[in-house]
Amino acid sequence: MTQHSRPTPRQVTDCFSVDDLRRLAQRRLPRAVFDFFDGGAEDEQTLRNNRNAFARYRLAPHVLAGVADVSLQSSLMGITSAMPLAIGPTGAAGFGWRQADLALAKAAAQHGIPYTLSSSATTAIETIAEQAPGRLWFQAYVVTNREFFWRMVERAKVAEYEALVITVDLAVGGKRERDFHNHFSVPFRFTPRNFLDFASRPAWAMDMLINGMPVLENMRDFDRAAASPQAIASSVGRGHDASFDWDRLAEVRDRWPRKLIVKGIARADDAQRLASMGIDAMVVSNHGGRQLDGALATLEALPEVLEGAAGRVPVWLDGGVRRGADVVKALALGAQGVLLGRATLFGAVAGGDAGAMRALDILRDELMRTMQLCGVRSVGAISPDLVRKMD
């Protein structure tokens, strides 16, 4: 049975891959909401290329390596992690499944990996810290209201978040054409198209009707439009500070006393400059193809960023990771860790707590299985000779 002929899952227990979880999410969500999570900018070239880049590499397995006992443990910023993974920030997850952010945080804690809360989450900084204690990182979007930005940072500090993540590839929001076609825009307008779309998913619609649309809890006081549920499509990037620069990043480094992660790097010169600033990790990222269309795939950009970092700062990768084998390829090419975005988001919006757990269970099993089939017994044994690039 080919991938395209697989039956669409009806429940989380029917899902055996991230793609299964994606299709289950598509089944239960209105098209406009699903496309907000699934889509990219403009022609979605970067969205596709993130996946295609992994397909251009093949694994060259060792054999007879004695792989009955395999360890997935890794070190992320000097602390042992059960896997070389962290859940990256994914905004507005609660529009797909109420309390999806909390589901992701709990699943990460149970799997012994870090979780990153987005500024645009529908669950508050403090709620996550109280109800999902684990390794917590907070992604603070750099908004035009500087006082508001620093209040968010202070809230994360008081709530004992381990690390602050600054995303630097979102000076302005990308052009998300799926949202336009779905009439998912601001100011929100009920049209025959989107009204029928929402009505076609009665379980989702009934929950939103009875319990109300979620709000972006950490943005409540920023401005009315950013916090309103109707603003979800166009608020991404709308209030961000396009004047943010190296000097402002240095100020963040000076004022934040804990680990600082910079996300959204694709060039050697930027990586070199970051490495000299005293940050604790950098993430090769193109925002999942949701901002600049035509940008390098993250796996393509990884070697250049590693060259710029020159071993001074850990380099992680996100974008396009859907399989355990993708994690192995990223590590073999030099990444020291991988951030998960849509892979775990699809689980959470497909099935809440059970879906988030299922996504990580699937990826953990695939990662271990791939390592065993490649003849490597530890994450540290994953080396460049394990992959071959195809022309």
Output the CA angle 135-39-341, nearest 5 degrees: 15
**Upper half-sphere CA count for residue 291 (Cβ side, 13 Å):** 20
> Using CA atoms, how far apart are residues 161 and 153, in angstroms rounded to an integer?
10
Q: pLDDT at position 237, please?
A: 56
> Among residues of the chain, what percentage have pLDDT more than 90?
81
| pLDDT at residue 211 is higher than 80 | yes
Residue 44, C-beta contacts closer than 8 angstroms, at least 6 positions apart = 289, 293
pLDDT tens-digit profile of 112-125? 999 999 999 999 99
Domain CATH number, residue 110: 3.20.20.70
Confidence band for 46, pLDDT divided at 50, 70 and 90: very high
Nearest alpha-carbon partner for 112 in 142, 160, 80 = 80
**Does the residue 20 lie in any domain?**
no
Torsion angle of C-alpha atoms 206, 211, 214, 219, degrees rounded to 10: 160
pLDDT tens-digit profile of 7-20? 889 999 999 999 99
Instruction: Indicate if 183 belongs to the active site.
Output: no
**Does the residue 256 lie in any domain?**
yes
Q: pLDDT at position 234, please?
A: 45
Nearest alpha-carbon partner for 152 in 78, 226, 77 = 226
**Does the residue 12 lie in any domain?**
no
> Using CA atoms, how far apart are residues 125 and 129, in angstroms rounded to an integer?
7
**Does the residue 9 lie in any domain?**
no
Most distant pair of Cα atoms in the chain: their distance: 62
- C-alpha 337 chain-centroid distance: 13
| pLDDT at residue 226 is higher than 60 | no
Burial environment of residue 230 by CB neighbours within 10 A (0 to 12, 13 to 18, 19 or more): middle
**Does the residue 207 lie in any domain?**
no
pTM above 0.85, yes or no: yes
Nearest alpha-carbon partner for 286 in 53, 16, 17 = 53
Output the CA angle 148-167-113, nearest 5 degrees: 105
Contact in structure between 248 and 256 (CB atoms under 8 Å): no
Contact in structure between 1 and 7 (CB atoms under 8 Å): no
Instruction: Give the H/E segment covering residue 362.
Output: helix 342-373
Q: Which of 111, 181, 240, 287 is catalytic?
A: 287
Number of Cβ within 10 Å of residue 68's Cβ equals 6
Length of the chain: 391
| pLDDT at residue 221 is higher than 80 | no
| pLDDT at residue 347 is higher than 90 | yes
Q: pLDDT at position 189, please?
A: 60
> Using CA atoms, how far apart are residues 158 and 58, in angstroms rounded to an integer?
45
Task: Enumerate the β-bridge partners of residue 86.
Answer: 339
Burial environment of residue 257 by CB neighbours within 10 A (0 to 12, 13 to 18, 19 or more): exposed
- Decide: helix, strand or coil at residue 372: helix
> Using CA atoms, how far apart are residues 276 and 310, in angstroms rounded to an integer?
11
Residue 198, C-beta contacts closer than 8 angstroms, at least 6 positions apart = 30, 32, 204, 205, 208
φ and ψ of 256, to 5 deg: -90, 120
| pLDDT at residue 175 is higher than 50 | yes
**Does the residue 293 lie in any domain?**
yes
**Does the residue 260 lie in any domain?**
yes
pLDDT tens-digit profile of 309-332? 999 999 999 999 999 999 999 999
- Decide: helix, strand or coil at residue 246: helix
Number of Cβ within 10 Å of residue 55's Cβ equals 12
Residue 249 belongs to what domain range?
28-176+236-389
**Does the residue 11 lie in any domain?**
no
Q: How many domains does the chain have?
A: 1
